Amino acid sequence: MTASSLGLLTYAALTFCLSWGAWSLVKRSGLTPADSMRFQLAILPGACVPAAAAALVRWAITQQRFGAQEFISQVLTAWPYYIAGLLAPALVALSSYGLTRVFELDRHSGGTRSVSSRLSFLITLPLVAILTAPFQFGEEFGWRAFFQAELFPSWPLVAAVVAGLVWALWHLPLIRMGYGYPTERWKGFGAFSLHLVLLSIFLGWVYARTGYIWAVSLAHMANNAIGALLPGRDKRHIIDYEGLGSAIPLGVICLILVLTGGLAR
């Protein structure tokens, strides 16, 4: 077994065991609802495990050097990709919302936010994403900068798909606790898995074009911040931003990136 293969297996084992262990304690604490701020703060330590596991594996097994360029973002040279990562989730959200309105899917949501409240949030989205992007470092330094980048270096699309599926499985305890999908949790997990596969392609493109972990963290946070637009409790696996409705516009974006060779570094 090569050092790279051993490193990937060790990373996965550490990440799953430690994160799932931390989240099991959150479940036992009985914090509810799963979308509350208290719950999100409680699961944060488990969400930071991927970065710690990646750092340990790189130091002890794969012996990869830590360069300052990994952590110092060159915004002046890579700004188009920062902008794309910041605004693409909003574009997907608006397109998805348009589809739900056209096909009247929002009648299943059990209550929707007004258009004005959605648009007002999208106006503040850039500021929210920039201020909270460091919270996504814990995931992206592990899943994107290490796991996805090292998985299949010669086949970035395959790496993105596999990484997205493994990444989705890592979230399974949170989904089972009702995080993101208070009802129909298994259907939600299916939709969420598809979303993370597509998101892995998009985030892989941002990382391939920039090489900066902060660019990917910003794009990830912009994606998560759209969660504030949740339309209701029911049928989220269809009409939510991380549901099947958004798979169409996000899938179109990913298809363009793949066909133009954007995932190759």
The ranges assigned to domains in the chain are 78-259
Give the model's pLDDT for residue 261. 85
15-33 pLDDT, tens digit per residue, is: 999 999 999 999 998 876 6
Long-range contacts of 20-25 (CB under 8 A, 24+ apart): 20/46, 20/173, 21/46, 22/46, 22/49, 23/173, 23/174, 23/177, 24/173
Q: How far apart are CA 97 and CA 144, in angstroms?
A: 28
Question: H-type helices in the chain, by residue range?
Answer: 3-29, 37-42, 44-47, 49-60, 75-102, 115-132, 137-142, 149-151, 156-170, 172-176, 185-210, 213-225, 236-239, 244-259
Q: Are 216 and 85 in contact (CB under 8 A)?
A: yes
Encode 47-71: b = buried (16+ Cβ within 10 Å), e = exposed. Answer: bbbbbbbbbebbeebbebeeeeeee
pLDDT digits (tens, 9 = 90+) for 114-143: 444 555 556 666 677 777 778 899 999 999
Length of the chain: 265
pLDDT value of residue 112: 46
Supply the pLDDT for residue 125.
Answer: 66
